Structure 1
């Protein structure tokens, strides 16, 4: 891509701002050298990593890469056998500290979700042990810790002792009153690493020793007294030993670094990459950037786009789309209305998107991938080349026309301005028409009315304008697509105080066609404002409807939830009632068998019956408090008689009428051993079969016996006179036989036939032993020939 467009669209300023967000020098270099790409997959990856970094920043604040230094030279030196100095080792330790921080940052709960940056963070090796060892041994760039090695600690201890001896010896010399008079000052100084005394030059002979230096005036000599020469020699040796030990320590640390050189080199590369990515993310955060959707079909759809170099609090967002329904956009309107800013915004955001930078626009904005972006914007006048503004622009346009194609974005600001308006307009139309033939996507600003007509009458070309408020004489900076702009020269001049007679004279000097066209534009502008107002009202109505719809949905969900709860509670209550009824039925049957055998007094049975009746009455009272929607009964019996067989609809149980209905239609119905109060509206008559005898009314004196008779007749109609026990164990058979004989006895059968088979005879013996113990069994015997022989026992009831 041509580099001239970077300066024209101020892309370089974006890179300068980006570099300020990077911490390492290598990342800063990368920021300044970003070039727009044309491979959509690579661009999407760059955008994804930047967007993921921005998400991490929003979740867990900032990550610092301060401390990342280029260590490739140091690693190269130790690879060829060299040793690192303290500064280089501290830089490596600092690098590993940054790697440790970055690793911890990625493991933070807020950043634990995997994204495109996860592999980079995972590849970091903090090498904490190595970093801690370097910091333990090296305190500063020029200082090694005493604890770096036991040898160094011992040497430094000796040095401190030797210093004390030398100072003591020199203090003894200085305390001598005679010697003190020879000294310039009573202080100990050091020259060339050896302790000396400042002696007056004229007393040089009185202080024997070695002269190491003199003052600038020559009046003072720095003499090492003979008494401390040997001590200074010993101290010098200790300093040499210390230096040697420090070299040994640095060599050991360098060897340890060498063993991890690959991991350290990887850490450096990864940290620079992360520094670079997070710098892009921080830049995006500054202007609230988003990830654009890319395409290769030349379609641009920027939603609420903002120029990134303008004050984000003041800049007016623009919506602009081009490349789908039309390939060229002609932007017109008054000066300072925002035409050039709109032009630059499209070009700059396209460059940023292809460079992998998030753009200052709303989500779902779309950008096209162009191989070349050309721009002719601003004052191109060249004094050196003796070119006028028009000539300079035309030179640039000629170059653009030589290279533009269907994969190019071309931007013109005031196309063919600076020359005769008639010729300039014709030339501008010809240039745009040629680009249309090339298939290039183009956007141009102009004041020429001819270009407005060209956009209105040409396919693949659309008008646009930057809105201007004539009342306040100020632009709104809103870009309106589909409407040509009006120059508003007369209106602006009138507002600024130009006399009406001059304005009227000017109006008379323009052609009727031009005036009509301007009036048409004014009408279009008024229509646009009306439509815009109605659109806003419609949008408000839509929002209100959506709010109401959401409220209804919420209410419906609440009702559905309550409904489900009621059904669930009802099912649970029904289950509880069924379980209670089953338990009550089981207890009643057991008691019935017990009372039937005569082992309990009738008074106890009556108490049980009264308790059961009380429980049923309580249940009826509860049910009476609950309003239920009943099915309409179209077969309400009219003339009921005691003993009639009826079906209780609410219980789905068949019973017999025990009492006649009262004035409210309430009566008692006998259902098996239970008797319940029901309403006649809950009953339907059941046709009698030949086995029942309740079709005629009976006297009140025989109510109870008739009821018992009904139960027995019902039993006799349903209980078989034979039971088959073949295949059962003796325990199973006796349990079933016990219940069967009770039912048969209640049904008033005279005898029953028990089939047990011949087999081993064990089941037969068990059956007959059981029959022998029953008081209501009058006799039993094996079946005769034709009745089943020894495989059947005939039992007769008493």
Structure 2
């Protein structure tokens, strides 16, 4: 898929929104690196799996995932007889905890693919219990991790108590009042010391371990407690050795469970990924697209997923008798948005995502999508709008195939209107003859005539309300856009003589076309009113039919009751 296409259609923004639904950083990163697929079977399977997860979450609620990390490097290390740190073992424990939770969550799932994911998750209560019993936090090992550790720590407590008692004898003795800087006990390099004035260091014999920044205080370990401190230090070393032995023991348990841990990581990542896609669909009220490889696009009430506020949906139909759609209409009327809507929805469907359209919308699978929709970068590089556009079109005509989708915005614009229109028609005809599905927007009237006269090409327009002088953003397939310049000028108060003169300057062909378009628009409005009336009658008929069915059921119930009563009497 063209990198520029993904950028212009803002595909990354869709991935960013999808990533917010994932619970783990691992899967968020995976989502942000997604690319659209072009294999029909693979996309179909991915949509099937997403649909199953939508069903699961709709019935059982969101999946509360936690404790998912990338264990690849950790397992590689532990397989080389490495010893894991407490924080790493806690990560393993989190994985085991979430595995246990998921096994419970999945016990009533019926969807086959999702059920299989949950069933394949492994649990290990022994390792989970051992880690929870041994590790309090990433900085603290529990006393009960081993009998030896508990004994060492008890000895340390007694030794520290002896040292503190000895140190207090210095602090509370009036003899040393003048020598002590403060009556407190400190620790330097793991050894208990007392703060002594620098000029009184000879008053208390011992080992100097540190000096204050001012130089007025030295920290002395009295000779009387040197041996006690040595014994305490020895116990510290024993404690460290025992902790390392405990961590090594737990690491070997993890090593024995290594394959299952990596498999759990893979399975839970998949669950998180599918859950993110399902929540993305449910929260935004998206629907599952139907896909095909027959060059047919049929979008019902499609909305651009990145537009904010109230978005006017559009219906898009292309394929079969025509594979080129030419959209005309006023500026800011929604022509470019229509192009981007088709392109972005196609990318979403090819990523295995639900789309912002009504049920039964049909999306074609393309090998590639080519776009020419603006290019501020080329303009900054001193290329004219026309040159920038033509550079991209040259690339499109060289690379696009019958399995491609081409989106052209204001094709042929930026140069002389007559030459631009002729060039636009030639480009579109070239793509038509290569059987490439193409959407194009234009202001050129010549392209409207081209669409009417050429098989395989269809007109479309974005609607404009002359009463409010604003676009409605509705896309009308089969009708070219009508110029509203005279009507708008009239409503804005332009002099009547100027308008008459301008009208007389129009060619007869243009006048006739405008009259035809006005008639088509009137007929369409009339047909729409009739359709609304028909829909109203249909709803009334359905209501009456439902009432009759309910009355029929009541009659059947009464009849059955009368028969039962008669049988009882008999």
Q: Higher helix fraction: Structure 1 or Structure 2?
A: 2
Q: CA deviation at 1:369?
A: 1.0
Q: Which residue of 1 aligns with 2:22?
A: 22
Q: CA deviation at 1:560?
A: 3.8
Q: Which residue of 1 aligns with 2:351?
A: 355
State which of 145, 148, 172 in structure 2 corresponds to 1:148.
Answer: 145
How many Å separate the matches in 1 of 2:422 and 2:555?
Answer: 70
Q: Which residue of 1 aligns with 2:33?
A: 33
How many Å separate the matches in 1 of 2:146 and 2:499?
Answer: 95
Q: In terms of mean alpha carbon deviation, does 359-368 or 370-379 score higher?
A: 370-379
> Counterpart of 1:117 in 2: which secondary structure?
helix
How many Å separate the matches in 2 of 1:201 and 1:506?
Answer: 104
User: Does the Cα contact within 8 Å between 2:52 and 2:111 map onto a contact in 1?
Assistant: no
How many Å separate the matches in 1 of 2:484 and 2:267?
Answer: 57
Matched, 1:171 2:129: no
Matched, 1:415 2:411: yes
Q: Which residue of 1 aligns with 2:425?
A: 429
Q: Residue deviations 1:556-598, cap 9 Å, x none?
A: 344345445545665x45xx85xxxxxxxxxxxxxxxxxxxxx
Q: CA deviation at 1:171?
A: 0.5
Q: Which residue of 2 aligns with 1:623?
A: none
How many Å separate the matches in 1 of 2:193 and 2:413?
Answer: 85
Matched, 1:488 2:484: yes
How many Å separate the matches in 1 of 2:501 and 2:206?
Answer: 110
Q: CA deviation at 1:466?
A: 1.1
State which of 89, 114, 117 in structure 2 corresponds to 1:120.
Answer: 117
User: Does the Cα contact within 8 Å between 2:43 and 2:351 map onto a contact in 1?
Assistant: yes
Q: Which residue of 2 aligns with 1:222?
A: 219
Q: CA deviation at 1:19?
A: 1.9
Q: Which residue of 1 aligns with 2:6?
A: 6
Q: CA deviation at 1:498?
A: 3.8
Q: CA deviation at 1:276?
A: 1.4
> Counterpart of 2:66 in 1: which secondary structure?
coil
How many Å separate the matches in 2 of 1:381 and 1:517?
Answer: 39
Q: Residue deviations 1:65-123, cap 9 Å, x none?
A: 2321111111111111111110110111111222222222223x5xx323421111111
Q: How does 1:753-768 map to 2 (within 5 A)?
A: none
Q: Residue deviations 1:593-627, cap 9 Å, x none?
A: xxxxxxxxxxxxxxxxxxxxxxxxxxxxxxxxxxx
Q: CA deviation at 1:381?
A: 6.0
User: Does the Cα contact within 8 Å between 1:86 and 1:138 map onto a contact in 2?
Assistant: yes
State which of 554, 559, 570 in structure 1 corresponds to 2:550.
Answer: 554
How many Å separate the matches in 2 of 1:381 and 1:250?
Answer: 57
User: Does the Cα contact within 8 Å between 1:447 and 1:487 map onto a contact in 2?
Assistant: no
Q: Which residue of 1 aligns with 2:294?
A: 297
How many Å separate the matches in 2 of 1:59 and 1:326?
Answer: 42
State which of 337, 340, 361 in structure 2 corresponds to 1:341.
Answer: 337
Q: CA deviation at 1:546?
A: 1.9
Q: How does 1:248-647 map to 2 (within 5 A)?
A: 248-311=245-308, 313-379=309-375, 382-383=378-379, 385-564=381-560, 566-567=562-563, 572=567
> Counterpart of 2:83 in 1: which secondary structure?
coil
User: Does the Cα contact within 8 Å between 1:124 and 1:266 map onto a contact in 2?
Assistant: yes
How many Å separate the matches in 2 of 1:314 and 1:98?
Answer: 40
**Structure 2 length-normalised TM:** 0.96
Q: Which residue of 1 aligns with 2:90?
A: 90
User: Does the Cα contact within 8 Å between 1:416 and 1:425 map onto a contact in 2?
Assistant: yes
> Counterpart of 1:330 in 2: which secondary structure?
strand
Q: In terms of mean alpha carbon deviation, does 205-214 or 555-564 score higher?
A: 555-564
Matched pairs, number:
570
> RMSD of the alignment, in Å?
1.8
User: Does the Cα contact within 8 Å between 2:379 and 2:388 map onto a contact in 1?
Assistant: no
User: Does the Cα contact within 8 Å between 1:51 and 1:290 map onto a contact in 2?
Assistant: no
How many Å separate the matches in 1 of 2:447 and 2:316?
Answer: 19
**Structure 1 regions of 5+ residues with no counterpart?**
578-798
Matched, 1:189 2:186: yes
How many Å separate the matches in 2 of 1:138 and 1:495?
Answer: 79
> Counterpart of 1:165 in 2: which secondary structure?
helix
**Structure 2 regions of 5+ residues with no counterpart?**
none
User: Does the Cα contact within 8 Å between 1:65 and 1:98 map onto a contact in 2?
Assistant: yes
> Counterpart of 1:103 in 2: which secondary structure?
helix
Q: In terms of mean alpha carbon deviation, does 350-359 or 502-511 score higher?
A: 502-511
User: Does the Cα contact within 8 Å between 1:404 and 1:438 map onto a contact in 2?
Assistant: no
User: Does the Cα contact within 8 Å between 1:191 and 1:212 map onto a contact in 2?
Assistant: yes
Q: Residue deviations 1:621-668, cap 9 Å, x none?
A: xxxxxxxxxxxxxxxxxxxxxxxxxxxxxxxxxxxxxxxxxxxxxxxx
> Counterpart of 1:183 in 2: which secondary structure?
coil
How many Å separate the matches in 2 of 1:179 and 1:498?
Answer: 105
**Structure 1 length-normalised TM:** 0.69
